[in-house]
């Protein structure tokens, strides 16, 4: 019964992962990260339902809070970079290297 | 007769006999610490301290004579030297006929040489430093002979080694002098190791290093232990006394100023080995093997030294070869047991006089000839240096054993005793006496007789009175010393409380068969030397010479042997160690560092700065982990 939810979760995670790897726009990469987080949330909730306890649901809430905090910090960084470099491409931000 | 009991002593001059050591030590300290301020009067202080020490020695000597013969071993306790658990060394002085004989020789001849040095070193800017070292030597040598335990002896032993090193290298601006000083020090180190090992074994065997208890219990130790101690002490004696196989340093030691050669490398320090063997008589008497080795070393050295002496053109080196040879005689006698001790020490004292006189005479000649040492550039000096010629001549006659002079009595005593003990040793000693006759005559004729072969700018002249008076006094000793000591066994009786004596006193008959054969051989040597170096012309440049001459000239290849056996393998070893250190140890450490540095240098290229490539590596990492988990989980 819960298999369909897990397959959906895996699909969403795969889409998110591919997006993070192949897209250059920082906003899109960011959204793909959110997609992966929410795929995980779905998996947590599904397992909570399957095992009949609340632990997975509680963790899903934690993930949402962390994701919200992450969005605040991440978007601020992206906006600041865009202001100075006039670009939102992750490939242009490569100063911190060997 | 056994040696007398050692008696505790306090009061009198003997009670303050430590002044003998302290006075010259104070002199050395003042001169060394006072620096240039003491330049003007430093040499007088040095002479005064040495003379004061001599006066104390004479007073102690007479106080000892005042005691009964069996009371003449006095122990003066000074302080606790090393209170360390079971090793509790109390420093004290042992005043007995043996040590006081040495003390008189050291301070007496030492003072004369101090006085002589005032004139000899007059033009040297470092004369004060020279006297400081001489005083240091006197103090160390007196500690060596007066200490009542082996550790104190060892301190003095090292002290004279230090003084010898400083004085051989006194003119350290000459590379040859610096090298000679280093060589003397290193070769002596080998001997000192033997002495130190001997003292260790003495301590583990007897639980003490004080002479009294050690000698009292020596007969209870096993013969093997005593042999071990004896051989170790003999190694020490060989180093200090330039006996085979540690003889090589003495010839080079002649780089030092001539008074040093006379005092340290002829009269006193080099005889310390003989003192050690005679002092440790109780140990050697329990170890016949060690005694046999002592006599063999003595005979081998007396022949080797004599052979070396025949070929040297450097007057001081010829005398040094002769010193080696004469100490060989003393060692031979010291290895013969109580019957030989008195002859060994009597020859030592007589040798102290005539060899010091001849060395100082050689110094006087060098002084006159602009420090030339090559005898081929001397010749005919008898006419211009009368006093030096006569005093040197008396020393020369004494050493070759001219009848009734010092060397005749003491050396013949040794030869007779050796002959009685073992005819082979005796005949070898007789041959040595014959060679002595030859090489000393060669030296004497080349220097003082024949036609002058001087350099153009040499203007020989007699030395000042401050140099000739010590010569005169020493030559008196070389003429009468032997007869005084030997006739009526006077010295043997005097020495017996310290070293014991045979139950039957040797009856010394002048002109015995052995004595006559010796005299005949000596005469042959003298006549041959006269024919070759007195009557006929001496070439100014040394001829190539026979194989034997070259052999003798190269010190019997002693240096070559040392180089081949020790120096070169040692250098190889150090080179191997350096190579291993550079390539092996350093290579391992440096290689490891280079490996890590290189790896990280390559690895840092991974940090591209592209976020997506990091994401990819994280993805692959995660995939790998998951895959691994599947595999492991399914196992």
Is the Cα dihedral B267, B272, B278, B284 positive or negative? Answer: negative
Is 90 exceeded by the pLDDT of residue B531? Answer: no
Verify whether the Cβ–Cβ distance B609 to A94 is below 8 Å: yes
User: What pLDDT is recorded for position B510?
Assistant: 63
- For the segment B193-198, the average pLDDT, to the nearest whole number, is 93
| pLDDT value at B209 more than 70 | yes
Quote the pLDDT of residue B404: 83
B156 neighbors B140 (Cβ within 8 angstroms): yes
B609, B612, B616 member nearest A96 (Cβ): B609
* Nearest-neighbour CA in chain B from A13: distance (Å): 12
| Closest-CA residue to B229 (of B290, B187, B279, B276) | B290
For residue B57, the model assigns a pLDDT of 93
B172's CB contacts (< 8 A; 6+ apart) are B178, B181
Tell me the pLDDT band of B635, cut-offs 50, 70 and 90: low
> Could you tell me which chain B residue has the CA closest to the CA of A22?
B612
Confidence of residue A85 (pLDDT cuts 50, 70, 90): confident
Query: Across residues A35-53, what is the average pLDDT?
Result: 93
Q: Which residue of A has its CA nearest to B611?
A: A90
- Interchain CB contacts (distance < 8 Å): A and B: 33
B602 and A CB contact within 8 Å: no
- Kindly report, residue by residue over B472-519, the tens digit of the pLDDT: 988 988 888 888 888 777 888 888 888 877 777 776 666 678 888 888
> How many angstroms separate the first and last alpha carbons of chain B?
98
Burial profile B160-196: b = 16 or more Cβ within 10 angstroms, e = fewer: bbebbbbbbbbbeeeeebeebbebbbebbebbbebbb
Ranges B14-28, B55-69, B498-512, B514-528: which has the least confidence:
B498-512
Model pLDDT for residues B303-351, shown as the tens digit of each residue: 999 988 888 888 888 999 999 999 999 999 999 888 888 889 989 999 9
Structure confidence at residue B296 (pLDDT)? 92
- Given CB atoms, is A28 within the 8 Å cutoff of chain B? no
As a whole number of angstroms, the distance between CA B395 and CA B479 comes to: 8
B603 in reach of chain A (CB within 8 A): no
Backbone angles phi and psi of B8, in degrees to 5: -65, 145
What is the per-residue pLDDT for B372?
A: 82
Choice between B138 and B421, residue whose per-residue pLDDT is larger: B138
What is the spatial distance between Cα B386 and Cα B366, in angstroms, rounded to a whole number? 15
What's the rounded mean pLDDT across residues B379-399?
A: 87
Enumerate the residues of chain B whose CB falls inside 8 A of the CB of residue A17. Answer: 619
- Omega before residue B245 within 30° of 0, cis: yes
The answer to whether the Cβ–Cβ distance between B616 and A93 falls below 8 Å is no
Q: Are A41 and A66 in contact (CB under 8 A)?
A: no
Q: Is B28 exposed, middle or buried (0-12, 13-18, 19+ CB in 10 A)?
A: buried
Mean pLDDT of B126-147: 92
Chain B, nearest residue to A33 by Cα: B615
Determine, for residues B610 and A98 on separate chains, whether the beta-carbon distance falls below 8 Å.
no
B97 contact partners, CB below 8 Å, separation of at least 6: B64, B72, B494, B495, B496, B497, B498
Spatial separation of the C-alpha atoms in residues A84 and B486, rounded to whole Å: 115
Q: Which residues of chain A make contact with B622, given a CB cutoff of 8 A?
A: none
ipTM at complex level: 0.86
The span from the first CA to the last CA of chain A, in angstroms, equals: 50
Name the DSSP class of B382.
Answer: G
Per-residue pLDDT band at B9 (split at 50, 70, 90):
confident
Of B613, B618, B631, which is closest to residue A36 (Cα–Cα)? Answer: B618
pLDDT of residue B160: 92
Q: Do A95 and B605 touch (CB under 8 A)?
A: no
pLDDT tens-place string over residues B40-49 = 888 899 999 9
pLDDT bin (cut points 50, 70, 90) of residue B103 is very high
Phi-psi region of B434 (alpha: psi -120 to 50; beta: other; left: phi over 0): alpha
Q: Work out the average pLDDT over B249-267.
A: 87
Closest residue to A21, CB basis, from B604, B609, B619: B619
CA distances (Å), B447 to each of B313, B360, B450, B534, B599, in order? 10, 14, 8, 10, 79
Check A97 against B611: CB less than 8 A apart. no
Predicted pLDDT at B481: 84
pLDDT digits (tens, 9 = 90+) for B403-451: 888 888 888 888 888 888 888 988 999 999 999 999 999 889 888 888 8
B507 touches chain A (CB under 8 A): no
State mean pLDDT over B173-177: 89
Question: Which residues make Cβ contacts (< 8 Å) with residue B111, sequence separation at least 6?
Answer: B47, B50, B51, B53, B54
| CA distance, residue B628 to nearest chain A CA (Å) | 19
Q: pTM for this one?
A: 0.79
User: B309 forms bridges with which residues in the sheet?
Assistant: none
Cβ distance of B612 and A93 shorter than 8 Å: no
SS3 label, residue B91: strand
Q: What pLDDT does B161 receive? A: 92
The arrangement of strands across the sheet holding B87-95 comes to B7-8, B74-84, B87-95
Query: Searching chain B, which residue's CA lies closest to the CA of residue A17?
Result: B619
On whether the CB atoms of residues A98 and B607 are closer than 8 A, the answer is: yes
Of the listed ranges A69-73, B149-153, B374-378, the one predicted with least confidence: B374-378
The whole-chain average pLDDT of chain B stands at 88
Confidence band, pLDDT 50/70/90 cuts, at residue B628:
very high
Residue B121 has pLDDT above 70, yes or no: yes
Given the DSSP bridges, would you call strands B74-84 and B87-95 parallel, antiparallel or unpaired? Answer: antiparallel
How many Cα atoms occupy the beta-carbon half-sphere of B102 within 13 Å? Answer: 29
């Amino acid at each position: 019964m819960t298999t369909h939810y897990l397959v959906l979760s895996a699909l969403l995670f795969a889409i998110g992962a591919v997006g993070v790897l192949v897209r250059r726009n920082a906003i899109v990469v960011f959204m793909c990260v959110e997609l992966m987080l929410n795929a995980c949330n779905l998996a947590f909730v599904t397992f909570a339902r399957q095992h009949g306890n609340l632990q997975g649901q509680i963790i899903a809430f934690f993930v949402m809070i962390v994701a919200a905090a992450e969005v605040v910090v991440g978007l601020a960084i992206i906006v600041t970079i865009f202001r100075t470099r006039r670009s939102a491409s992750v490939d242009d931000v490569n100063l911190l290297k060997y | 007769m056994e040696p007398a009991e050692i008696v505790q002593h306090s009061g009198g001059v003997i009670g303050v006999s430590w002044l003998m050591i302290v006075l010259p030590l104070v002199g050395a300290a003042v001169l060394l610490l006072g620096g240039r301020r003491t330049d003007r009067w430093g040499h007088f202080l040095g002479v005064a301290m040495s003379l004061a020490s001599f006066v104390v020695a004479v007073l102690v000597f007479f106080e000892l004579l005042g005691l009964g013969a069996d009371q003449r071993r006095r122990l003066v306790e000074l302080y606790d030297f090393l209170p360390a658990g079971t090793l509790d060394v109390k420093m004290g002085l042992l005043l007995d006929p043996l040590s006081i004989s040495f003390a008189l020789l050291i301070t007496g001849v030492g003072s004369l040489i101090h006085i002589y040095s005032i004139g000899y070193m007059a033009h040297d800017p470092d004369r004060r430093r020279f006297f400081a070292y001489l005083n240091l030597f006197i103090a160390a040598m007196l500690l060596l002979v007066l200490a009542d335990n082996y550790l104190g002896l060892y301190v003095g032993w090292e002290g004279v080694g230090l003084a010898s090193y400083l004085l051989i290298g006194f003119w350290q601006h000459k590379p040859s002098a610096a090298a000679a000083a280093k060589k003397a020090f290193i070769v002596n180190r080998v001997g000192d190791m033997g002495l130190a090992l001997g003292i260790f074994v003495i301590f583990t065997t007897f639980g003490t290093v004080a002479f009294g208890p050690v000698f009292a219990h020596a007969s209870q130790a096993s013969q093997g232990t005593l042999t071990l101690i004896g051989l170790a002490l003999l190694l020490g004696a060989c180093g200090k006394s330039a006996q085979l196989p540690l003889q090589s340093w003495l010839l080079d030691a002649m780089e030092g100023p001539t008074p040093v050669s006379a005092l340290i490398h002829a009269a006193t320090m080099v005889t310390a080995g003989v003192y050690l063997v005679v002092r440790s008589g109780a140990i050697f008497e329990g170890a016949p093997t060690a005694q046999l080795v002592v006599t063999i070393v003595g005979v081998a050295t007396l022949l080797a030294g004599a052979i070396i002496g025949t070929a040297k053109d450097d007057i001081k080196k010829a005398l040094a070869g002769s010193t080696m040879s004469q100490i060989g005689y003393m060692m031979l006698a010291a290895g013969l047991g109580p019957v030989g001790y008195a002859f060994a020490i009597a020859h030592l004292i007589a040798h102290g006089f005539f060899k010091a006189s001849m060395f100082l005479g050689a110094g006087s000649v060098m002084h006159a000839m602009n420090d030339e040492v090559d005898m081929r550039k001397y010749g005919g000096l008898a006419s211009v240096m009368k006093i030096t010629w006569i005093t040197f001549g008396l020393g020369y006659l004494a050493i070759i054993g001219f009848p009734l002079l010092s060397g005749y009595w003491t050396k013949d005593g040794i030869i007779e005793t050796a002959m009685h003990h073992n005819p082979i040793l005796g005949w070898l000693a007789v041959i040595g006496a014959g060679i002595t006759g030859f090489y000393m005559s060669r030296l004497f004729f080349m220097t003082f007789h024949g036609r002058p072969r001087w350099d153009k700018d040499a203007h020989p002249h007699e030395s000042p009175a401050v140099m000739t008076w010590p010569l005169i006094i020493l030559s008196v000793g070389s003429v009468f010393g032997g007869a005084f000591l030997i006739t009526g066994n006077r010295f043997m009786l005097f020495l017996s409380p310290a070293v014991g004596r045979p139950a039957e006193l040797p009856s010394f008959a002048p002109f015995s068969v052995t004595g006559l054969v010796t005299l005949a051989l000596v005469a042959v040597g003298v006549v041959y030397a006269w024919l070759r170096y007195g009557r006929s012309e001496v070439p100014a440049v040394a001829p190539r010479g026979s194989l034997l001459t070259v052999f003798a000239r190269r010190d019997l290849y002693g240096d070559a042997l040392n180089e081949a056996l020790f120096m070169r393998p040692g250098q190889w070893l150090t080179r191997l160690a350096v190579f291993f250190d550079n390539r092996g140890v350093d290579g391992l450490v440096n290689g490891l560092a280079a490996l890590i540095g290189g790896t990280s240098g390559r690895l840092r290229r991974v940090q591209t700065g592209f976020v997506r490539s990091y994401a990819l590596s994280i993805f692959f990492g995660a995939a790998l982990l998951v895959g691994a988990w599947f595999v492991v989980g399914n196992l």
